Amino acid sequence: MNAPVKIPVGSAPLEREEILLAVENVSLSFGGVKAIQDVSFDVRKGEIRAIIGPNGAGKTSMLNCINGFYHPQQGRITFKGRTRPRMRPHEAASQGVARTFQNVALFKGMSTLDNIMVGRTLKMKEPFFWQLWRHGPAMREEIRHRAVVEDIIDFLQIQHIRRTPVGKLPYGLQKRVELARALAMEPDLLLLDEPMAGMNLEEKEDMCRFILDVNNQFGTTIALIEHDMGVVMDLSDRVVVLEYGRKIADGTPAEVKADSRVIDAYLGVAH
């Protein structure tokens, strides 16, 4: 595969040792179904961390736990040094966790611009009273944030679909708008759930480039789930492998690739 070249990250090595997110002994079950069992890993500041594994391994459930959508029965999740036992999703968002979704979860009735502007909601502070008039402080704030959003639109090259209702966009562009919406939140941790699923090669390359650019230019820490092994090996600094809700490997792409349990999980155990 014609994978993009990994650009060396400019940030200082010391800073990269800092742990942004720590997942410790997390277990999650729905009734009798154990989605995640005793999984621990961490995400360091500034890195691209991949979570891989076969279908049903609990990858998406893991992301859901991280941003507070599911509450694990056991274990704890520490983000920026703070542990919250039962965090609501909007609390996660206000702490700086943004994400995209496996099945595109855009606001279908709204334009691309409005979708991305929703990502700015947390940054907009003008109270309800000013919103009533749409002049004065509320309008000035709106314009300020519009400028930020336009920068993101430029960055992801989606100027031409600014006014289009997102429901009418092709799938690849929808994924890109979703990334734009997440970026608008200026997150510290960006969770990407299969950002390249269902894309053709060209779109995948674009998306890889955007992910690397986000990581490089904004220094955003990224945790991503992806099935395309080529992409994962090229993009990520470290990889964690899940199978049937358990962690079976954790390390650099090269280490993981060589791990016999990972090979068994993906290729089946030789008998």
Partner 1 sequence: MLYREAGQYKTSYAADMAIFPLRQDRIGLAAILAIAFVAIPMTGNQFFLSSVMIPFLVFSLAAVGLNILTGYTGLLSLGTGAFMGVGAYACYKLATAFPDVNILVWILCSGFFAAAIGVIFGLPSLRIKGFYLAVATLAAQFFLQWSFVRIPWLYNYNASGAIEVPTRTLFGLPLTGATASPETRYFALLVIVVALTWIASNLVHGRVGRMWMAVRDMDIAAELMGIRLLHTKLLAFAVSSFFCGVAGACMMFLWYGGGEANDLFNINLSFNILFMVIIGGLGSLIGSFMGAAFISILPTALKFGLPAIGIPIAGATAEHVNLLLVGGLIIFFLIVEPHGLARLWQILKQKLRVWPFPY
Partner 2 sequence: MSDVSLKSELAAFRMTPGLWTIAGVAGFALLLVIGSLTGAIGKDTFAYRVFIDPFAQMVEMPDLFAQTLWEGLVGGVLYALIALGFVLIFKASGVFNFAQGIMVVFAALTLVGAYEKLGTIGIRGEAAAFIALGVALAVMLALAYAVERVVLRPLVNQPDIILFMATFGLTYLLIGLGEAIFGGNPKVMIADQLYLPRGAIDLNILGGRVTIQKLDIAAAVIASAMIAILALFFQYTRIGRALRAVADSHKAALSVGISLNQIWIIVWFAAGVVELVTGIMWGARSDVSFGLQTIALKALPVLILGGFTSIPGAIVGGLIIGVGEKIGEFYWGPLVGGAIESWLAYIIALIFLLFRPQGLFGDKIIERI
130 binds partner 2 (CB under 8 A): no
185 binds partner 1 (CB under 8 A): yes
174 binds partner 2 (CB under 8 A): no
Q: How far is the CB of 33 from partner 1 (least distance, A)?
A: 20
Q: Which is nearer to partner 1, 10 or 127 (CB)?
A: 127
Cβ neighbours, 10 Å, residue 78: 15
CA distance 38 to 121: 35
Q: How far is the CB of 161 from partner 1 (least distance, A)?
A: 16
Q: How far is the CB of 30 from partner 2 (least distance, A)?
A: 6
CA distance 253 to 232: 8
Region near partner 1 per CB under 8 A, out of 12-20, 24-32, 139-147, 192-200: 139-147
37 binds partner 2 (CB under 8 A): no
Q: Up-side HSE of residue 79: CA atoms within 13 Å toward CB?
A: 22
Can you list the positions of beta strands (E) in the chain?
19-30, 33-44, 48-52, 74-79, 82-83, 97-99, 189-193, 221-225, 238-243, 246-251
Q: What angle do CA 10, 212, 186 make, to 5 degrees?
A: 85
Pick the binder of partner 1 from 114, 186, 203, 205 (CB under 8 A): 114
Q: What angle do CA 133, 115, 20 make, to 5 degrees?
A: 110
Q: How far is the CB of 103 from partner 2 (least distance, A)?
A: 8
Pick the binder of partner 2 from 1, 7, 19, 105 (CB under 8 A): 105
103 binds partner 2 (CB under 8 A): yes
Region near partner 2 per CB under 8 A, out of 97-105, 156-164, 183-191, 210-218: 97-105
N-terminal to C-terminal alpha carbon distance within the chain: 30
94 binds partner 1 (CB under 8 A): yes
* Both tokens assigned to 159: 């100027």
Pick the binder of partner 2 from 102, 131, 164, 216 (CB under 8 A): 102
244 binds partner 1 (CB under 8 A): no
Q: How far is the CB of 172 from partner 1 (least distance, A)?
A: 19
Interface positions, 68-87, toward partner 2 (CB under 8 A): 69, 74, 85
Distances (CA, A) of 252 to 8, 15, 51, 235: 15, 18, 12, 11
Residue 23's beta-bridge partner residues?
A: 41, 77
Q: Is 209 left (phi over 0), alpha (psi -120 to 50) or beta?
A: alpha
124 binds partner 1 (CB under 8 A): yes
Region near partner 2 per CB under 8 A, out of 101-109, 123-131, 153-161, 234-242: 101-109
